Every structure is written in C-alpha cells, then in structure tokens.
Amino acid sequence: MVDKVDKADNKDQIGKITHFYSKLGVGIIKLDKELEAGDTIQIKGHTSDFKQKVNEIQFDHKSIEKGEKGKEVGVKLSEKVRDGDIVFIAK
C-alpha cells in the first residue's frame, strides 16, 4: 500500500530523496522543480516530517546557488531521511 502525502499548508512538491549519507548528514534530492539556496523545504515520509532552510546546495561536489529541474543535488539535512521521502518547498 502506498501512503499519500498531504499537500496542505501551501507546499509544492519539488522532488524526492534518492539517497541519504548518514555519516555526512547529506540527502540527495532528485528535483522535479527548481530549488535555490535560502529556500525553506519540508521533507515528509513514513518516519520523516520536518522543515529546514537550505543553506547550501551541491552538484558534483561543488556549491551552486540554484538546483534545476531534473538534477540530483546534495543538501545538508538536520534530520535523518529515507529514500523515497518527498521534498516540498514551504511558503
């Protein structure tokens, strides 16, 4: 059974977690929409549900200001996430 993720509170889905490096605390996000440094995101999954500001985005081990649709980018996260967790932009 697949759980449906609630899209309330003016949030838009911008991507999905494809991997989490627990020792680094970095989540890899496959972007469906653009993400910029300074944006606030919310990550929701079976055991995850938290918001945080994106301080830095990395692509190919280099800092970038903006992640574009279709790219997989790395973001330092404050909590553990799991593959398949949904990433929303919080407004």
Q: Is residue 3 part of a domain?
A: no
Q: Looking at per-residue confidence, does 10 or 90 come out higher? A: 90
Mean pLDDT of the chain: 91
Quote the pLDDT of residue 78. 96
3-class DSSP assignment, residue 58? strand
Give residue-wise pLDDT tens across range 24-58: 999 999 999 999 999 999 999 999 999 999 999 99
Q: State how far Cα 35 lies from the chain centre.
A: 9
Q: Is residue 29 part of a domain?
A: yes
pTM of the shown model: 0.86
Quote the pLDDT of residue 4. 47
Backbone torsions φ then ψ of 19, nearest 5 degrees: -165, 155
Q: Is residue 6 part of a domain?
A: no
For tokens 């970038």, name the residue. Answer: 64
CATH number, domain with residue 84: 2.40.30.10
- Please check whether residue 73 is in contact with residue 29, taking contact to mean a CB–CB distance below 8 angstroms: yes
Q: Is residue 36 part of a domain?
A: yes
Give the domain extent around 33: 11-90
Give the span between the Cα atoms of 27 and 81, in whole angstroms: 7
Confidence of residue 11 (pLDDT cuts 50, 70, 90): low
Give the span between the Cα atoms of 53 and 46, in whole angstroms: 21
Q: Is residue 1 part of a domain?
A: no
Count of structural domains, the chain: 1
- Please check whether residue 88 is in contact with residue 69, taking contact to mean a CB–CB distance below 8 angstroms: no
Token representation of residue 86: 């949904």
